[in-house]
A and B are shown apart, each in its own frame.
Chain A
Amino acid sequence: MAAEPESRLRDLFLEAVELTDPADRDAFLSQVCAQDPVLRARIDALLSADDAGPGDILEESATSASVGSRSPRLRIGHYRILERIGEGGCGTVYLAEQEEPVRRKVALKLIKTGMDTRQVVARFEAERQALALMDHPNIARVFDAGTSDSGQPFFVMEWVRGTRITEFCDANHLDLRGRVELFLSVCGAVHHAHQKGIIHRDLKPSNILVDRPEGSRIPVPKVIDFGIAKAIAGRLTDQTLYTALDQLVGTPAYMSPEQAAGGGSDVDTRADIYSLGVLLYQLLTDQTPFETRDLLAQGFDEMRRTIREVEPERPSARVKRRTNLGIASGTSSEASASNARRHPLPPPPEDLDWIVMKCLEKERARRYETVNSLSQDLQRWLNHETVSARPPSAVNRVRKWIRRNRTTVTAAGAVLLALLGGLVASTTMYVREKRARGDVEVQRAVSDQQRRGFQEHAYASDMKLAQHLVDSHDLEHALEILERHRPTSPGMEDLRGFEWRYLWQACQGSPHDFLPDSVGMPWVLAVSPDGNYVAAASGHKRSAGVTVWRLETKEAVARLDYDPEQESDAAGALFSEDGRWLLTAVHHRIKFFEVGTWKERTEMMLTNASAPIDLRGNTLVSTPSGYFDDPTRIDSFDVWDLRTRTSTRITGVAGPPTLSPDGRRLALRTAAGIEIRSLETPDGPAVLLEDSKGLLTHGSGYDNIKRGLAFSPDGRRIAAPGVVNDRGDIPLAIWDASNGRRIDHGRFIGHSARIHALAWAPDGTGIATASADGTLRLWDPEGREEPRILTGHLSEPWCVTFHPSGNLLFSAGIASWIDKVKLWPLDRPKPRPQVDQEWFPLWLSRDGSQVLVVTQDRDVILRERASGRILESRPMPSGTPPINSESSRLCLIEIGGRPAAFLGYSNGRLASWHFGSTYFPRLFQAHEGAVQAITAITNVGMLVTAGADRTIRWWRLDDGRLVRSNRLEHPVTALAVSPDGKTLMSASGKPPVSGRTDAGFHLGEWDVATGRLRSMLPLPGATADLGFSPDGHWLAAAVTTPQEHSSTHLLDLRSRTWRARFDDIGRELSFSPDGSHLLIWPELWDLRSDPPQAKTLSGHRQIVMHQTFSPDGRTVVSTGDDGTVRLWSVATGQEMLSFVERGRSFDSPVFSADGSALAAGGFTPDGRPLRFWTAPSLAEIDQRIREGRINR
């Protein structure tokens, strides 16, 4: 090892820096630098530079992993905590100090644990771009989101001083006008956010703070928490909705009916309008339409019903009723109750009633369409004009009109009208109306355009969010977001493209089938030993019961133990080992049904037993407490001998036990951990499973466990969910059942939320787990293979079991109303076919079923996309130069729906691959010099080539006969044919090697019909590429001047003038299919504006090789060296979807004409395998929805 270089300065500095006591440090330095004051000064300077602490520009290209924070206790992320300023439903808010990049005080909201941090942060990240666009004086900005050391998500936002809007109004005795004016500022903020595609989802007084800045009389409200509700709103199943109402939303009083409905219904800007309506209601009456306390007292279902169905009292009626009853004014919240106002509010006027009630419509289509229209109506009320919310009533209009023109009407108006009669009146009205209508039309056009822009933006953001959610297996939420973009009204544009259809398909999950007619919340799935029947025991109110399906027909054949008069929340079902009996427990007793006839044998019923846990032979384990698998409520259980119908009670347990396959041992949870006891000697020595004590603690993944403890079929091993690790993963733990030793070695990691249930495959070669992260996983108990992940559940998978054959897996999600009992075929998916020596895709057939591939062996093959089967292969004769995009010119066309490729080489030869019935020669000498350009004019059946030999040659496509040859003064470097096939353009110039700078570059315009040169235009330099826009309006030329300056020039063919110059040339000229956009990577130019405007497509980390537009022109696809394929919105330039494969590059993207398939090539370490992504058409999707063959 080489000697380390010496540096006295460094060594002394590092020694001094270790001395934290200033006195020690000083003494040390005085001693070592006694003779060298210069050195001492240098070290002091370094020490003070070091004192600035970590984090500055120098760290920017690296992370500051090297430097620990100085006061870890008081830090969250990069923020220093100053004080706690609030405790909300979903977390604690701190005042914190940010030091980098600017020093400022911020509010930091630390979210309570219990949510999936990764998903919360991922959802936030997905919206960050949109949030960054928000810039409004009445919106508190959200700066950052992250994860604290303890794994809690946090949000950092602008620190807002101020009080809740309701308290502010009360404290300052604001009258109705003042309140409406203040409310209008809030509307402005929400409208701004909506235009950026952000929905708040949780508008309520505690999220709207009002401050009166010093020296100002005007109060400034600020809306806080934008983007946060969306990030933390997880899947709303019944279970979590309780929590959601309690924790996330804080109070259901502001929740829109569609939010209260939960489970799959989408939420859009109109949910915010509802919440604004509730707020306005409260500002006018001091009460919310439904009071939180009353709602919570109603219980969950009733509350949901109230919000969704009950029409609230009109604000004025509420105030009047209260005044009549003599109830003191003041909200029911403690804060303002203590602040009771001396001057109660008068009942609001009728117009405000209408405005509020329009916001509170249950049917959101009947609410205001935008916040802007709500604001306008309020403004009209302030101006004493007619409000639109009101049902048209002539009297009202007249009344308003009179009030506004009070003076004129009473004085002159009446006289005039009387004198001139109806004629003048109607003329004036006509003129006024016409003018008004003109304004309305302009307004509508503007707002249509705005709405369109808003819709595009929201669409692109939502696609990215949906992909995040699909990646984190939150399919329900992803589908919900996708469904938002299904057009529901005629005015709504259908923006759904490949990305939407691809994600919709992804939401359908892994291939699976399902059983119809499931009900309630399934707790247990059981399969009969012969594999013919599947039973699901469901709890949930009065729908509790056991449903049995015949597997062969997938029909529900019996509904057992179902009593519509009785409620039950838990249920169990078990088949006896001999397959004769199905034991059910729904209403606190165990019933026996004969399998097949489904008749109950009432004499066998066990009345003092409530839930069957496990049954082996004649040994039945049941619980007496009425709960069968809630560990917090099971402290004892009974072991029955079914022959004698007697039981032994075992107490002191903590959770449900399980029987070994031979029925002789019992695994149970005690305070010490998981123990295995012998049933023959229950008081004998037990085997305690290693490290199993921690599994019983709260939050370990064990609370609420279903069937989370299972013996392997041979009884030698036992598996259970392990303790959550520091990354938040829940491992699967496996023990040796004979000695209790843990044998999984931490290999089974992957679930990011707790494991609800697990099951061993009948042959013991697999373990299936069902997790709250939305996935099922199939593990190899030996840990040799990667687990298989099954996605598709829309709610948390709650139970899982194998078919006795081991070929099928059954699972059920907690919410049967959105999630059916699923059947997963377990045969291994076939590996994707791969053709050796693939090079890149050239063409996809219209329906995407066939692909034309260039191979490394100078071959072009046509193959089936899905199977990989080669349909036709056309190897080139030996001696053909390699196909290389640099040295060859390529032209690809379709002749009668079949592809044909023509390739020109630098030696003047022309090769063709065609799969139709043409007789074009395979390989021949087309030019004396290099082939410089090739194009085809299919409408006249012609191929045109240009060579370094200064000729343009026209060949017949059917037999390759030379039709004509034009000689030019200079060699032609590029050719292009107009979309109508009538004009050929050529670019010619002196060879760039001449080194001379004199002009001589020309654009030639040829008449295709006659082959004559129509005109010549000068060009500024050598042109490598020419391209017509598909609409024929533009011709683009990629030009390099003799000074080596490259730019793209745009010729407006309508005015025949050069219109624009872009300071770069792309690798290829890409016009969007409608000619509205030109892509010169990474800039996407909108040619409709003058001058053209560009959006920058930024996101690729390395070079982008190629790009293409989707056939509908709404999406750009780019392929990069960074191993990603990205899809971008043409309308907004946002990234919508990306496919990532580490360690490879992507190039040559190709779309099928119907937009159903996308192909790309690129390098991997092992070659160039092609990749395909497919999406069903909208028609197919609709058909599958109609036929019910969908995941919903």
Chain B
Amino acid sequence: MPPNFPASAEELLPLVYAELRQLAAAKMARENPGMTLQPTALVHEAWLRLTRGGVEAAAPRWECRAHFFAAAGEAMRRILIDRARSRRAGRHGGGLERTELDTLEIPERAGDEVLLRVDDVLDALEREDPRSAELVKLRFFGGFELQEAALALGISDRTARRYWRFARAWLREALGRDGG
């Protein structure tokens, strides 16, 4: 780990968040609104950028990685939620009618609602079990496969599977109570 590389996820967050924002902004700037971000790619790219200079080679300690990815999950969540909120706000804006040829686009947009609802209850899960919440952030917001998320957080596949099951039940229950 480089000397001034913050050690904990909390310390890392502003750094990761800024990096991801910048990356995402660069990618989204002046580009098409229909474009979807690939969160996994973004997170990995951010990791590479932050650790450029052989951090991984010099100190392949999992804490560094795990903290980074925990922070990245949170950062990704914030970015996506920001976008979903602004998209929802912007939907009332007018313009020319667009011909919707590709019906496949629709579920993606409906995703905003789910995104925001999951976000609403995620804080409560975090208070209950921070590790499961990290998993949800990476999986749900970051688009990580379960195994990938397990690797990123430095837990075993089996543990990740179990935590995910808990998180899923927890979220379902919370979302159900939420009136969904």
List residues of A whose CB falls within 8 A of some B CB.
1-2, 4-5, 7, 9-10, 13-14, 17, 45-50, 52, 56-63, 65-67, 132, 1046-1047, 1060-1065, 1067, 1081-1083, 1091-1096, 1098, 1100-1104, 1121-1122, 1133
9-residue interface stretch from B10-18, B28-36, B51-59, B81-89? B28-36
Which chain B residues border A1081 with CB–CB below 8 Å? 31-32
Decide if A1063 touches B95 in the complex (CB within 8 Å).
yes
Given A5-B129, A1095-B99, A60-B111 contact (CB < 8 Å): yes
Which chain A residues border B101 with CB–CB below 8 Å? 1095-1096, 1133
Decide if A1101 touches B38 in the complex (CB within 8 Å).
yes
Does B109 touch A at the CB level, under 8 Å? Answer: no
Does B47 touch A at the CB level, under 8 Å? Answer: no
Shortest CB distance B42–A (Å): 10
Given A14-B165, A56-B172, A1083-B132 contact (CB < 8 Å): no
Which chain A residues border B131 with CB–CB below 8 Å? 4-5, 7
Write the B108-142 contact mask toward A (1 if CB under 8 angstroms, else 0): 00010010001000000000111110000001110
Shortest CB distance A785–B (Å): 28
Decide if A1104 touches B32 in the complex (CB within 8 Å).
yes
Q: CA A1083 – CA B97 in complex, angstroms?
A: 12
Shortest CB distance B48–A (Å): 10
Q: CA A1100 – CA B37 in complex, angstroms?
A: 11
The total of interchain contacts (Cβ-Cβ below 8 angstroms) comes to: 136
Which chain A residues border B41 with CB–CB below 8 Å? 1102
Closest to A1083 in B: B98
Does B169 touch A at the CB level, under 8 Å? Answer: yes
Decide if A1062 touches B130 in the complex (CB within 8 Å).
no
Q: Which of B105, B111, B172 contacts A49 (CB 8 A)?
A: B172
Q: What are 7 A-B interface contacts by the 8 Å CB criterion?
A: A5-B129, A14-B165, A48-B173, A49-B172, A1095-B99, A1098-B104, A1104-B35
Which chain A residues border B176 with CB–CB below 8 Å? 49
Decide if A66 touches B146 in the complex (CB within 8 Å).
yes
Decide if B98 touches A49 in the complex (CB within 8 Å).
no
5 A-B pairs with least C-beta separation: A1063-B95, A7-B129, A49-B172, A50-B169, A49-B173
Given A10-B129, A46-B169, A1067-B30 contact (CB < 8 Å): yes
Which chain B residues border A52 with CB–CB below 8 Å? 172
Q: Which of B32, B36, B129 contacts A9 (CB 8 A)?
A: B129
Which chain B residues border A59 with CB–CB below 8 Å? 168
Given A7-B128, A1096-B105, A1104-B32, A66-B161 contact (CB < 8 Å): yes
Q: CA A1076 – CA B37 in complex, angstroms?
A: 31
Decide if B34 touches A65 in the complex (CB within 8 Å).
no
Which chain B residues border A1103 with CB–CB below 8 Å? 27-28, 31, 35
Q: CA A59 – CA B32 in complex, angstroms?
A: 27
Q: Which of B96, B139, B155 contacts A1091 (CB 8 A)?
A: B96
Given A1093-B99, A1102-B35, A66-B144 contact (CB < 8 Å): no
Decide if A5 touches B130 in the complex (CB within 8 Å).
yes
Q: CA A652 – CA B95 in complex, angstroms?
A: 81
Given A45-B173, A61-B140, A1082-B32 contact (CB < 8 Å): yes
Decide if B98 touches A1096 in the complex (CB within 8 Å).
yes
Q: CA A1046 – CA B155 in complex, angstroms?
A: 47
Decide if A1101 touches B36 in the complex (CB within 8 Å).
yes
Q: Which of A58, A1091, A1133 contacts B168 (CB 8 A)?
A: A58
Closest to A4 in B: B131
Decide if A49 touches B34 in the complex (CB within 8 Å).
no
Decide if B128 touches A10 in the complex (CB within 8 Å).
yes
Does B5 touch A at the CB level, under 8 Å? Answer: no
Closest to B148 in A: A62
Q: CA A4 – CA B132 in complex, angstroms?
A: 11
- Name the interface residues of B23-81: CB closer than 8 Å to any CB of A: 27-28, 30-36, 38-39, 41, 62-63
Known: A61-B141, A1067-B30, A1103-B31. 17 other contacts (CB 8 A): A5-B129, A5-B130, A7-B131, A10-B128, A13-B169, A49-B172, A49-B173, A52-B172, A58-B172, A59-B168, A62-B145, A65-B147, A1047-B95, A1094-B96, A1096-B34, A1103-B28, A1121-B27
Which chain B residues border A1102 with CB–CB below 8 Å? 27, 35, 38, 41
Q: CA A1104 – CA B31 in complex, angstroms?
A: 8
Which chain B residues border A1098 with CB–CB below 8 Å? 34, 102, 104-105
Q: CA A220 – CA B98 in complex, angstroms?
A: 36
- With a 10 A CB-CB cut-off, give which of B38, B103, B172 has the most chain A CB atoms: B172
Decide if B118 touches A58 in the complex (CB within 8 Å).
yes
Q: CA A1064 – CA B96 in complex, angstroms?
A: 10
Does B143 touch A at the CB level, under 8 Å? Answer: yes
Q: CA A982 – CA B170 in complex, angstroms?
A: 70
Closest to B34 in A: A1082
Q: Which of B33, B38, B39, B99 contacts A1064 (CB 8 A)?
A: B33
Closest to A1132 in B: B101
Q: Which of B36, B63, B166 contacts A13 (CB 8 A)?
A: B166
Given A61-B139, A1102-B35, A1060-B129 contact (CB < 8 Å): no
